[in-house]
Amino acid sequence: MIESRFSELRQKLTKALGRNQGQAILVSGGIDSGILSYLSPHSKGVTVSLDGRGEDLKYVSILADSTGLETTVVKVDVDEALSAVREVVKILRSFDPALPNDLAVYFGMREANKQGFESMMTGDGGDELFGGYPYMQKIEDLDGYIESIARSLQFSSSDMGKHFSLEVKQPFMDPEFVEFALTLGSDVKIREDNGHVWGKWILRKAFEPFLPSEFVWQGKRPLEVGSGMTHLRNIIASRISDEEFEEKKRAYPVKFLCKEHVFFYEIYREEVGEIPRPGEGEYRCSGCGGGVPENKNHCRICGWLP
């Protein structure tokens, strides 16, 4: 019975990709973009690394050897990455502390634009639909949670794509595929296998026969970690003393989560301006006072979780 679900998943995702085909793929080295690369061998890959850091390069190499994927590796130096923070804040109108993830997307899409591509695929939605994040393993009603977020998910890649005149394709977020994913229970999304609890278990099993085991059974890591962009956190934090951090926490009407958060916020103040007040159908964010849609529990302006 479960074998038939593997086959059905492959068929459904292949059709979803056919409806959302892109010329390029933002290849993170993770299994979501890796599966799309396997299913779309004629698309070109783009991978981002900060000064050659991060595990993504290892897994992209494994993927390329297995599928023949042609991938451009964009190696960004620290100064270039820090300079791009201002542009990313402007594009997203956000000072979310998760911004190092968005930097990797920014440089990947910039490269795709440079190469003349008009469309780019991403693995957006794979983690959300299939229980890929570690925190999901602690949610009691995971099926209900996934159903509550599935149809209103938003990703920064969409805004990045508009900035670079790229049509962003998200096969995992294809409406028909989303509806199929919701028919799958959490028992096949998060499951113990060989003594380890895996998110996206059914995705891994469905494509296990076609991709290297080392690739399929890799651990989950944020894009900022895989790309090495997380290294910027220490650099930014080192430029703000503890005393200065405490002073700015008192001076600004924002609940800061870390020193980088202050750094991003001050750029936001310069480039975007004041935080907009809640509008109709929004509630007030407890972190920054901005507006959060009633069906969301994450502030896109400051990243605060109520």
Q: Give CA–CA dist 210/204, Å, rounded.
A: 10
Q: Rounded CA gap, 181 and 33, in Å?
A: 17
Q: Which residues of 163-176 are buried (b: 16+ CB within 10 A; e: fewer)?
A: bbebebbbbbbbee
Tokens representing residue 198 in the block: 């895996």
pLDDT tens, residue by residue, 92-139: 999 999 999 999 999 999 999 999 999 999 999 999 999 999 999 999
Q: Identify the pLDDT of residue 305.
A: 82
Q: What is the pTM of this model?
A: 0.95
- CATH class name, domain 2-226: alpha beta
State the virtual CA torsion across 32, 38, 44, 46 in degrees, nearest 10.
Answer: 30
Q: Which residues of the chain register pLDDT less than 50?
A: none
Element (H, E) at 157: helix 156-163
Instruction: Give the residue among 175, 203, 224, 170 at the shortest CA–CA distance from 35.
Output: 203
pLDDT for res 254: 97
For position 53, what pLDDT does the model report? 95
CA pair distance 305, 303, nearest whole angstrom: 7
User: What residue ranges do the domains of the chain occupy?
Assistant: 2-226, 239-293
What is the Cα–Cα distance from 14 to 9, expressed in whole angstroms? 8
